[in-house]
Chains A and B, each alone.
Chain A
Amino acid sequence: MYRESQIIRNNTPDNYMVINVGPQHPSTHGVLHFVITLNGETVVKLEPHLGYIHRSIEKMCESLNYRQFVYVTSRMDYLSSHINNHACALCVEQGLQVEIPERAQVIRVLMDELTRLASHLLWWGSMAMDIGALTPFFHAFREREMITEIFEETCGARLTMNYICPGGVMADLHPDFQAKVKAFLKQLKEKLPEYHELVTGNIIFQNRTKGIGILSKKDAISFGVSGPTARASGVSCDVRKRYPYELYDKLEFKEVLEDGGDCWARYLVRMEEINQSVAIVEQLIDHIPEGDIQAKTKAVLKLPKGEFYSRVETARGDLGVYIVSEGGTTPYRIKFRSPGFSNLSAMETMCKGGKIGDFVAVMGSVDLVIPDIDR
């Protein structure tokens, strides 16, 4: 039987102490298990142990047809369900060679950005909570609730939404959508200075994050880190800019880059990304064209024999969907390149040599979603 404690005991020098963080631990945001070797309070080694929430989504997708498998992917990175569905839809559409109506494209981008906002808001609250401030979580949820309501009205779900499907989106927007989104944007812009006052400007918060968990640009590239975590190390990797999909090449927004590579830089990147997402939503919300919400597709989708790959930018980074098709109605093999997995692999580099207390701050700043790592 696999006994971690035995292996660790046999391989650890006497002056080191091994502690388990997780799988049930508040700071890991889910069932992730870290085995941390400590020398005093300094982290010597950090091993992530995965598998506690493995649901074999990739294998499951092989027996689901091209319309069905999309819905399973909402359960991967549950904070960016729309974006996961979007990636799958893009991959299938690439195989089908269909053009998506403009209205559907706009709706998809709007949903993506709202999802990103919701995810970043939740991250902001939980990062502050990791560092010990309990209150910001409630403030973040006040704004996030408005997005969740918008989603609920439009697609019926509050968390694992299934709305974007191959060919377009499943249903038309709720009539209140525009008004609600505008109300949300107004509220968020009003409250963002409060966020900065409460957390960003706090000297304790800055002390806990500045110079902590540094990830160099070189390391970030070699670990395949993506998303805000990589951009905080100065790696330009925003898929929306570099490999634009849907409407992103026509929209005006900045790729946020910082070069500190520490928790503080990661914090600043995400906070600025909130502003950028707000800008994108503002550009689109008044210009939703009329028209179809779905391209005309067959009831049963069949992809031609071949390999298809699509990538999108989720709230956590670069999500890739790789489909191998044998020409049938179900994928022969499917593989998701999840941003969380690569970001997790850089955790040891970030935490090594730091204090055990900093591990929690790094964990918060990397913003891992465990079901995304363990599919």
Chain B
Amino acid sequence: MKFSLEYITKSVDGWLNATFNPTIAFLIESVIVMVLVIALFAFLGLVLVIMERKVAAFMQIRLGPNRVGPKGMFQTVADTLKLIVKEGFTPNNVDKFLFNLAPFIVMITAMVAMAPLPFANGFQIWDVNIGILFITAITSVSVIGILMAGWSSNNKYSLLGAMRSGAQIVSYELSAGLSILVIVMLSSSLRISDIVAAQADGWWIFKGHIPVLISFVIFIIAATAETNRAPFDMAEAESELTLFFLAEYANIFIVCAVGATLFLGGWMPLHFGTGTAFNTVMDYIPGIVWFFGKTFLLIFIIMWFRWTFPRLRIDQLLNLEWKYLLPICLVNLLLATIIAIAGWHF
């Protein structure tokens, strides 16, 4: 029997429904999910920060953190503890309510966006029929959090940073959305489980010809820009807001997970053809390993960008989006439509 997380979720759900009445069972399930998501985010924050520092060290021929724990693995734990015991600081003349609320909005949108993501077969919080639309809608709310932080800080530099960041995220959301549309069209569904199921015999990046390759590249560029990372790290507003660094990594995880799900088949194992021995071997690797493997591959690529590329100027950044990526996306969408209607994809 192949290992699947579906058995665990199904049996927990069955037991709860058999023991309590449906309302209480639902409430308990909600609490379990909330705790798991928060735990996952805390864990991701720790893992991604140490990963970033190790990747940076690797690129820069340094050692990176190597004192706390084996190979410095507990460095972020120590750093987080240090941050927690530090004094909470709110500058004078800020709008206290908005200033403290802003990071939570960014953080919560990242957590909510996780709802329709399938981590493994059947291991999904909410398989809503507009899943991918839901994710794009929710992630665009985080702009409000960033603008709110810039505005409430009552500081012209923070406001400028937030405005730049907002302009950048709003612009690049178009490209991200259009490149996602290509996949939606090919799988003819917005439901994420359908999109993953459509990739059972091969990931879209292999099946979808050139349009999918183009949209994959554009999606990665847009994802880098949307998370405000180098070479698109114009906004410096987040540097004075404590929770934003965690939110940055949460957002990276979300966009990379979406990319992995749409283009690289999510939890689907790597298959070549049908019924070969290779496919059977691949099937034995659990879906959750595939999902996190692909996501972390994309995260590594985005980190790789940051530590090798110079930074774009703000006008070049916006030109790139409006003059190049958006027209390419539109033409690409047309191509993908033709392919989807004619059924030319594999």
Contact = CB atoms under 8 A, between A and B. Distances in A.
Contacts of A142: 61
B328 to A, nearest CB: 16
A198 interface: yes
A131 B311 contact: yes
Interface in B259-308: 307-308
B61 A133 contact: no
Contacts of A135: 59-60, 307-308
Contact of B230 (A41, A132, A198): A132
A133 B311 CA distance: 7
A199 B60 CA distance: 14
A138 B62 contact: yes
Interface string A129-141: 0011111011100
Given A132-B231, A355-B315, A357-B314, A204 B309 contact: yes
Given A138-B60, A138-B61, A132 B316 contact: no
A205 B60 CA distance: 18
Contacts of A138: 60-62
Contact of B309 (A202, A355, A357, A358): A202
A204 B307 contact: no
Nearest to A138: B60
Interface in A48-88: none
Contacts of B56: 134
Nearest to A207: B316
B62 A132 contact: no
A128 interface: yes
A33 interface: no
Contacts of B315: 41, 355
B313 interface: yes
Given A132-B230, A132-B231, A204 B61 contact: no
Contacts of A241: none
Interface in A204-249: 204-205, 207-208
B312 interface: yes
B310 interface: yes
B327 to A, nearest CB: 18
Given A204-B231, A207-B316, A132 B61 contact: no
B312 A204 contact: yes
Contacts of A128: 310
Contact of B310 (A41, A139, A204, A358): A204
B310 A205 contact: yes
A355 B310 CA distance: 17
Nearest to B313: A357
A199 B311 CA distance: 12
B308 A208 contact: no
Contacts of A198: 308
A134 B309 CA distance: 8
A198 B59 CA distance: 11
Contacts of A133: 308-311
Contacts of B230: 132
A187 to B, nearest CB: 13
Interface string B56-79: 100111100000000000000000
Interface string B30-72: 0000000000000000000000000010011110000000000
A132 B311 contact: yes
A134 B52 CA distance: 14
A193 to B, nearest CB: 16
A134 B313 contact: no
B60 A132 contact: no
Nearest to B315: A355
Interface in A173-205: 198-199, 202, 204-205
A26 to B, nearest CB: 12
Interface in B131-190: none
B306 to A, nearest CB: 8
A127 to B, nearest CB: 10
A142 B309 CA distance: 19
Nearest to A132: B311
Contacts of B309: 132-133, 202, 204
A358 B316 CA distance: 11
A203 B39 CA distance: 40
A142 B59 CA distance: 13
A134 B316 contact: no
B310 A131 contact: yes
Contacts of B310: 128, 131-133, 199, 202, 204-205, 208
A202 B307 CA distance: 13
Interface in B313-332: 313-316
A138 B307 CA distance: 11
Interface in A108-147: 128, 131-135, 137-139, 142
Interface string A28-40: 0000000000000
B267 to A, nearest CB: 34
B233 to A, nearest CB: 8
Nearest to A198: B308
Contacts of B316: 207-208
Given A41-B315, A135-B60, A205-B310, 15 more contacts: A131-B311, A132-B230, A132-B233, A133-B309, A135-B59, A138-B62, A139-B61, A142-B61, A198-B308, A204-B311, A204-B312, A207-B312, A207-B313, A357-B314, A358-B313
The 7 closest A-B pairs by CB, nearest first: A132-B311, A138-B60, A131-B310, A133-B310, A357-B313, A132-B310, A205-B310
Interface of A: 41, 128, 131-135, 137-139, 142, 198-199, 202, 204-205, 207-208, 355, 357-358
9 contacts: A128-B310, A131-B310, A132-B233, A135-B60, A135-B307, A204-B311, A208-B312, A355-B313, A357-B313
